[in-house]
Structure 1
Amino acid sequence: MDKSDKIIVGISLGDSNGIGIEVVLKTFNDRRMLDFCTPVLFGTTKIVSYYKKLLKLENNIHGIHSLDKISHGKINLLNITKDEVPVNLGTATEQSGNFALQSLSTATNALKNNSIDLLVTAPINKENIQSDEFSFPGHTEYLEENLEGKSLMILMTEELRIGLITGHIPISLVAETISEELIKEKVEIMYTSLVQDFGISKPKIAVLGLNPHCGDKGVIGTEDDTIIKPTIDKIKESGKLVFGPYASDGFFGSKTYTQFDGVLAMYHDQGLAPFKALSFGNGVNFTAGLNKVRTSPDHGTGFDIAGKNTANEASFKEALFTALKIYKNRNEHKNLTKNILKVK
């Protein structure tokens, strides 16, 4: 690959007191990673140098002050602020939250302006990042607000992709939020993503039920029979291979998920609890449905192990490789479909 053809990967560093910077530096401590992409870290030289010294890593960091100075074959670091950002390992502070937001917002703007090709985000703390600029429950909602499209959070490995019909909302609001329109929207996003981002020409999608045992014919709730099943039947009429609703416990317990290309859960923990039980540490969070590619590792800030040199970079590395693969698949799909002759 010509150096000018390298995919430029923007990396927001997350909370500066967590394990984000550690897993990023450990990922690129293997210089062979630079054969796959050109990374741009959004942070400060001082903080990254602090972690390099603390963790005894040998990363050669190329500091830049503008994105037109990106150098291929190097770990680029765009300095996003001249302000002092004190490091208090394992503690969520106002300064570390501000740093996480500056890193994310600067990287997102670069993504919107096509200065970087895709974005991989390190973990944030969802409490101390809140501000006038960030009043969202997580990355997914922030990126949907700032990019084009409707988002779908997908947690994934090679064997399992779980999307969420409802995301970061209280469990008390889930049932009233589920609707025919919402289910159709999320199925359409997942279907399109499986085709263009994963190269699956005729994807097979499972939809989980809302109530225990899918309501047991109304004994434990009516939503499965009155909303979810009729909606699935309507979607099937369009030719899409969508099935359900499935009771979540039996669906995962019997490994029925292995028969599908994608799974849609009704709410956050219904999907993420079994996913993390099966795949924690190797999973990837992918924001489908937007006009830009974004992934992240499947873990949080890890304040309890921050600075102890015990954080495992496997999930971050997988998030990086997944983003690169999706980016290539999406571009290939665009090239294959942009000149299709329209039948009159």
Structure 2
Amino acid sequence: MKYEENIIVGISIGDLNGIGGEIILKTFEDTMFLELCTPVIFASAKTMNFYKSHFKSTINFHNINSLSHLVHGKVNVFNCWNEPVKIEFGKEDIKIGEYAIKSLRAATEALKNEAINVLVTAPINKYNIQSDEFKFPGHTDFLAQELEGESLMFMVTENLRVGLLTDHVPVKDVVEHISEQLIIKKIHTIYDSLKKDFRISKPKIAVLGINPHTGDNGVIGKEDDEVLRPTLKKIKDEGKLVFGPYAADSFFGSNNYKNFDAVVATYHDQGLIPFKTLSFGQGVNYTAGLNRIRTSPDHGTAYEIAGKGLADAGSFKEAIYTAIQIYRNRFDYESLTSNPLKKMRK
């Protein structure tokens, strides 16, 4: 990792019929962002000019066909395609899904090659991206294949971080996915991310139970007693500050989450419902554990308001701030660990 004063933020365009184009425009109409980073939108000049005209934006794009030609202080658009695309806001369209994947693949390749420093992904439609060439339930699984490391869906905001043991898994299959190996792997990933990416030297992590009331001593399921508790004890014995399992129904309402640096939920809705209730519009989806940095807003394509100028860019802006801060934190951490003398001088 190299230090960049002006961090290059790659942006995949997402679903063209959703709100991605609008929230990107609204973000970079604030010129302050051009002092924080150099944005590169992976789409096409024709597509971005369509959005500019539709939303009456004042942004002047700098169009490039090579990332070596990007210009700091400008909103760069890297041409992933040249043909015109028919954009119909709010419509689910397989063809539009193909363009979302073209953008994502190009941006991911640039991230792997360090032509960009971080990646921020605009929302996709998980249905219309599916094809013989792309069979992933979302960004996280695709990036886990393309990048090095152990990926983890980590929802973060200023006062709350929620990691998932299982993410896009049907509820009926959750229990069969949870094992000692998975629990250890995911908690270690969260622990390392808290240290490297969020500069927390001794992270405190809470883990939510699998069953209601953490099983009530086996009355409502045995998984908490037979799998979760013994595994958490092993992790504690390593010296990590890991606590639980806690009953999920009262954990957030009692504000107990404020006592920890991160919370581990066992499945998607157990973690994301309270997270989005407490932080919606300001939350960020961070793919922790990989050798590159990727964030996204905490919402989807929002077809119901697409094209109407009503989209809130708050979460997308936070995704950019978070990616930049994590990049800087990780650089500092790697600098200190590779040069112990720096740490001593601090």
TM-score by length of 1: 0.97
**1:86-97 → structure 2 map (5 Å cutoff):** 86-97=86-97
Q: CA deviation at 1:339?
A: 2.5
- Paired with 1:95 and 1:84, the residues of 2 have a C-alpha distance of 12
- Report percent identity of matched pairs: 58
Per the TM alignment, residue 340 of structure 1 is displaced from its structure 2 partner at its CA by 3.3
CA contact (8 A) 2:47 2:84 kept: no
Confirm or deny: 8 A CA contact 1:85 1:95 kept in the other structure. no
Displacement of 1:45 after TM fit? 1.0
1:303 is aligned to 2:303? yes
Aligned partner of 1:176 in structure 2 is 176
- Where does residue 192 of structure 2 map in the other structure? 192
Could you tell me whether the CA contact under 8 Å between 1:189 and 1:288 is conserved in 2?
yes
Deviations 1:232-290 (A, max 9, x none): 11100010000000010111110100000001000000000111111111100000000
Distance 2:148 2:133 in 1: 18
Mapped to 2, the partners of 1:220 and 1:200 lie a distance apart of: 36
Q: Is the 8 A contact 2:205 2:243 kept in 1?
A: yes
SS state of the match for residue 62, structure 1?
strand
RMSD between aligned residues? 0.9
Matched, 1:293 2:293: yes
1:319 aligned partner: 319
Aligned to 1:154: 154
| Off by >2 Å, runs of 4+ in structure 1 | none
Q: Could you tell me which residue of structure 2 aligns to residue 206 of structure 1?
A: 206
Deviation at 1:334, TM superposition (A): 0.2
- Compute the displacement of 1:83 (Å): 2.7
Q: 1:1-344 counterparts in 2 under 5 A?
A: 5-340=5-340
- The whole-number CA distance in structure 1 between the counterparts of 2:108 and 2:213 is 42
Residues 206 and 244 of structure 1 are in contact (CA less than 8 Å); yes or no, is this contact kept in structure 2?
Answer: yes
Contact 2:183/2:231 (<8 A) preserved: yes
Q: Determine the C-alpha separation between the residues in 2 that align with 1:150 and 1:233.
A: 22
Deviation at 1:70, TM superposition (A): 0.6
Give the total of aligned pairs. Answer: 338
Provide the secondary structure at the position in 1 that maps to 2:105.
Answer: helix
- What's the offset of the Cα at 1:51? 1.0
Q: TM-score, normalised by structure 2?
A: 0.96
Q: Counterparts of 2:211 and 2:33 in 1: how far apart (Å)?
A: 45
Q: Deviations over 1:148-178 (max 9, x none)?
A: 0110101111000000001111111111111
Q: Residue 210 of structure 1: SS of its match in structure 2?
A: coil
Q: Which stretch of structure 1 is more off in the superposition, 83-92 or 139-148?
A: 83-92
In 2: Cα distance, 1:141 partner to 1:325 partner: 23
Deviations 1:285-344 (A, max 9, x none): 000000000000000001110110000000000000000000000000000001238xxx
Deviation at 1:132, TM superposition (A): 2.5
